[in-house]
Amino acid sequence: MLPKGFYSLGKNIGIKDTTKDFAVIYSNIPCHSAAVFTLNNFPGAPIIVGKEHIKNGILQAIVINSKNSNVATGEEGVKNALEICKAVANSLKINFEDVLPSSTGVIGVPLPIDKILNACKTIKSELKEGNLEEVAEAILTTDKKKKISYKVINQNGKTGVIYGIAKGAGMIEPNMATMLCYILTDINIKTSDLKSILKSAVDKSFNCLTIDSDTSTSDTVVVMSNGTSIELEEPEFEEYLTEICIDLTKQIAMDAEGATKLIELKVSGATNLVQAKKIGKSILNSPLVKTAIYGGDPNWGRFIMAIGKVFDEKIPFENISLKLNGLEIKNADQSTKHKMSNYLKENSKIFLDVNLGMGEFSSIFWGCDLTEEYIKENAYYTT
């Protein structure tokens, strides 16, 4: 089921190869919108332009290309992103400042701007109602699977839909946002601060994800609401939005470059959320933890090492509990190691619980294992 009032297209325009690489999402009325972007100090040109265009909280279209991120392309890159918005606006007869540009792919290569501007000319006639799966496909780079999550809410015989699309498989340790994620809804959200709601949802989902510790220069999460279906109070919408963001976060972790296992890590017993996050990220970014989980190696000492290398958070060793799917693995004997190894080898979703025994705070983080395939994919990405 799709949110009402959204039209889209996804197609190939030959940016790199013959797979889909260009997409447009259009709402037939201007949308109440919010976005969060990467904290990387060298954000892409589309992000520089997008930050301006989202300022008034209104968007009516998103234009996306994959296979080229338009990052580190200087003033020419910014000019190109703006021209694309204008071309889209021109075709759709809307305000160019209500268009958000997005690009993902290789860094530091000028956009094939003529191909893109050319494709913009025919947007109006090629848009189809809904059709968002095509967009989900067109935004992929090294991803193997489309990432879609949606929620249908029934209210007095009427229905509202929140529909999220994401991409991302590497260069992922989002900070305030993830690779690319578009969330469309026809629900009228009773809020004066959609951005806070989005930030809060992102903090509990994408910002708790790490694939390889590398924060992308293109991270973007956008939410667009046309308000044409049911009306929801802030807390309720935030709850649904968070669910969708978490679902997309897990889909990204599962489809991470080379990954064979999704790791869901709960850090509890922390003195505060900052402590939980430092420990959580240290564990999920540790190549030695990630390879042990990949190989089914019952090497629990590596978890201890990864907790201990957060020098400024001193946790007494005795306090710590390490559980793998409920099984205590700290000081594991041979029989426990055997169970641990079997669990790691037989499952593609790994549940890890780390209790620090320090306080009352807890948080959940997501990551994946590290495999030979990650190396292969990234050793030869541009070539």
Instruction: For residue 160, report the phi and psi dihedrals to the nearest 5 degrees.
Output: -120, 150
Query: Which residue number, 335 or 382, has a Cβ lying nearer to a second copy?
Result: 382
Number of residues that bind a second copy (CB under 8 A): 64
Listed in sequence order, the residues at least 6 apart from 256 whose beta carbon sits closer than 8 Å to its beta carbon are 169, 170, 172, 211, 212, 368, 374
How far apart, in whole angstroms, are the C-alpha atoms of residue 99 and residue 63?
Answer: 7
How far apart, in whole angstroms, are the C-alpha atoms of residue 304 and residue 371?
Answer: 21
Q: Which of 178, 191, 217, 242 is catalytic?
A: 178
Query: Which residue number, 13 or 305, has a Cβ lying nearer to a second copy?
Result: 305
249 is catalytic: no
Query: Which residue number, 241 or 279, has a Cβ lying nearer to a second copy?
Result: 279
The residue range among 119-127, 178-186, 195-203, 313-321 that interacts with a second copy, by the rule CB under 8 A, is 313-321
Q: Which own/partner pairs from 145-148 qualify as long-range (CB within 8 Å, at least 24 positions apart)?
A: 145/251, 145/254, 145/255, 147/248, 147/251, 147/252, 147/255
Closest CA to 178 of 157, 147, 155: 147
Q: Does 307 bind a second copy (CB under 8 A)?
A: yes
Enumerate residues 202-221 that contact a second copy by CB under 8 A. 212-217
Q: Between 337 and 366, how does the x/- string for binding to a second copy read (CB under 8 A)?
A: ----x-------------------------
Which residue in this structure is represented by tokens 């893109």? 116
Three-state DSSP at 231 gives strand
For the bound state, the minimum distance from the C-beta of residue 114 to a second copy, rounded and expressed in Å, comes to 18
Please name the amino acid found at residue 146: K
Query: Which residue number, 240 or 294, has a Cβ lying nearer to a second copy?
Result: 294
Query: Which residue number, 144 or 345, has a Cβ lying nearer to a second copy?
Result: 345
How far apart, in whole angstroms, are the C-alpha atoms of residue 150 and residue 221?
Answer: 15
Listed in sequence order, the residues at least 6 apart from 288 whose beta carbon sits closer than 8 Å to its beta carbon are 299, 302, 305, 306
For the bound state, the minimum distance from the C-beta of residue 319 to a second copy, rounded and expressed in Å, comes to 11
The tokens describing 41, both together, are 């100090």
Proportion of the chain in helix, strand, coil states, percent, rounded to 5: 35, 30, 35
For the bound state, the minimum distance from the C-beta of residue 38 to a second copy, rounded and expressed in Å, comes to 9
The residue range among 17-25, 113-121, 244-252, 292-300 that interacts with a second copy, by the rule CB under 8 A, is 292-300
Please name the amino acid found at residue 332: A
Enumerate residues 221-280 that contact a second copy by CB under 8 A. none
Q: Does 78 bind a second copy (CB under 8 A)?
A: no
Q: Between 32 and 71, how does the x/- string for binding to a second copy read (CB under 8 A)?
A: -------xxxx--------------------------x-x
For the bound state, the minimum distance from the C-beta of residue 349 to a second copy, rounded and expressed in Å, comes to 18
- Determine which residue in the list 311, 335, 346, 360 makes contact with a second copy, applying CB under 8 A: 311
The residue range among 96-104, 243-251, 265-273, 304-312 that interacts with a second copy, by the rule CB under 8 A, is 304-312
In DSSP terms, 161 is beta-bridged to 152
Instruction: For residue 324, report the phi and psi dihedrals to the nearest 5 degrees.
Output: -110, 110
Query: Which residue number, 3 or 367, has a Cβ lying nearer to a second copy?
Result: 367
In terms of DSSP H, where are the helices of the chain? 45-53, 74-92, 113-120, 123-126, 132-138, 194-203, 234-254, 273-285, 287-295, 301-308, 334-346, 372-379
Q: Does 335 bind a second copy (CB under 8 A)?
A: no
Residues in contact with a second copy by the rule CB under 8 A? 39-42, 69, 71-72, 74, 106-109, 170-171, 173, 175, 212-217, 285-288, 291-292, 294-302, 304-311, 313-315, 317, 331-332, 341, 370-372, 374-376, 378-383
Residues known to be catalytic: 178
